[in-house]
């Protein structure tokens, strides 16, 4: 029974979509290793605990979001079949999972270094706050983006024990990338948001303009990545990675039109998974080939 509920919980939080932010966090860690000339001991253990921290924080945040939004999801025709509104999972079990995931995250932060542990409650506060923002601000998409965007900076701190302002360009890139695809995704709920007291970019600007705003956010992502290449003195493979990401984003936007949102899931889930993975492959190759900052 417990294993069945755990499986349902992992399905509820789309556990497999941890791939979205994890490659960017690992890129932040690799950049920090590179800055140290790869001389930091116990690198494998650090990477392992970074992965545990990422998965723990995301799992806690997603479960918390489903709990907070259960009543709203029950009223939305698109989401009323989700696990909590449909009665497939109990709120008690979901709360227990949220607590357990939070404790896993705190343990990982403790194992990394003191600064990570001291900042861990703040990080949880950020990822939990997102669930409430759609009730009072149209900028909830950016809050979600920032919740994921802090991952690369956190990974840098995990490796170096301090924050370098340059890594914040990667935070900005992840923030605007996530906000952009969340705006696209939220276009599906335009009618529901308009009839309810929820806030979103599509609700205030309409679907067509919202898709234009999503494009601008993704342009900002590319600009942030280019600034990071310049600041960190990265090479041609990183630029090739940015080119690949740009091509995928162009294709993603081509899948969705104001009059046809039928391919939003393909744009959201499939293409963004490829964006994060290809980004990591190109940047990791660049980092390992050019091991010292120029």
Q: Which residues of 12-30 are buried (b: 16+ CB within 10 A; e: fewer)?
A: bbeeebbebbbbbbbbbbb
Terminal Cα-to-Cα distance of the chain (whole angstroms)? 56
pLDDT in the model for residue 95: 95
Residue 273 is predicted with a pLDDT of 83
Among 171, 204, 174, 198, which residue's Cα sits nearest to residue 79? 198
Six token digits for residue 66: 């489903």
Residue 2, burial from CB neighbour count under 10 angstroms (0-12, 13-18, 19+):
exposed
Q: pTM for this one?
A: 0.93
- Residue 267 DSSP class: I
Mean pLDDT of 269-277: 84
Task: Taking residues 153-159, report their average pLDDT.
Answer: 97
Query: Could you tell me which of 276, 23, 25 has the C-alpha nearest to residue 159?
Result: 25
Non-local (6+) Cβ contacts of 253 within 8 A are 184, 211, 214, 215, 218, 267
- 242 has a pLDDT exceeding 50: yes
Residue 278: Cβ within 10 Å count: 17
Angle between helices 168-186 and 272-289 (to 10 degrees): 170
| Number of helices (H), then strands (E), in the chain | 14, 0
Residues of the chain with pLDDT > 70, as a percent, come to 95
Whole-angstrom distance, CA of residue 16 vs CA of residue 204: 32
Contact 24, 280 (CB under 8 A): yes
Question: 9 pLDDT exceeds 80?
Answer: no
pLDDT digits over 33-43, tens only? 998 888 787 78
Look up the CATH superfamily of 2-289.
Answer: UbiA prenyltransferase (1.10.357.140)
State residue 245's pLDDT score. Answer: 96
Average pLDDT, the chain: 90
Place 82 in a pLDDT band, splitting at 50, 70 and 90: confident
Residue 108: left if φ>0, alpha if ψ -120 to 50, beta else—which one? Answer: alpha
**Res. 267 pLDDT band, cuts 50 70 90:** low
Query: Tokens 């759609």, residue?
Result: 134
Q: Is the predicted pLDDT of residue 265 greater than 90, yes or no?
A: no
Tell me what the mean pLDDT of segment 95-117 comes to: 96
Position 73 pLDDT exceeds 80: yes
């Amino acid at each position: 029974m417990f294993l069945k509920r755990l499986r349902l919980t992992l399905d509820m939080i789309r556990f497999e979509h941890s791939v979205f932010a994890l490659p960017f966090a690992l890129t932040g860690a690799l950049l920090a290793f590179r800055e140290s000339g790869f001389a930091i001991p116990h690198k494998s253990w650090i990477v392992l605990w970074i992965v545990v921290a990422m998965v723990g924080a995301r799992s806690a945040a997603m479960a918390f979001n489903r709990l907070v939004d259960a009543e709203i999801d029950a009223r939305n025709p698109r989401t009323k079949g989700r696990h909590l509104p449909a009665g497939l999972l109990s709120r008690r079990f979901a709360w227990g999972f949220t607590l357990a995931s939070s404790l896993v995250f705190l343990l990982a932060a403790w194992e990394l270094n003191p600064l990570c542990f001291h900042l861990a409650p703040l990080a949880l506060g950020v990822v939990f706050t997102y669930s409430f923002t759609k009730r009072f601000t149209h900028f909830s998409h950016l809050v979600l983006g920032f919740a994921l965007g802090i991952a690369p900076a956190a990974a840098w701190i995990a490796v170096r024990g301090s924050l370098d302002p340059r890594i914040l360009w990667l935070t900005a890139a992840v923030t605007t990338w996530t906000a952009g695809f969340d705006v696209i995704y939220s276009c599906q709920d335009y009618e529901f948001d308009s009839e309810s007291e929820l806030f979103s970019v599509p609700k205030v600007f309409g679907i067509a303009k919202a898709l234009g705003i999503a494009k601008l956010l993704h342009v900002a992502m590319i600009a942030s990545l280019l600034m990071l290449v310049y600041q960190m003195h990265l090479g041609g493979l990183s630029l090739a990675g940015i080119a690949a990401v740009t091509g995928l984003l162009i294709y993603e936007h081509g899948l969705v039109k104001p009059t046809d949102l039928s391919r939003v899931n393909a744009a959201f889930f499939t293409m963004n998974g490829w964006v994060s993975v290809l980004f990591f492959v190109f940047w990791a190759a660049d980092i390992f080939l050019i091991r010292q900052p120029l």
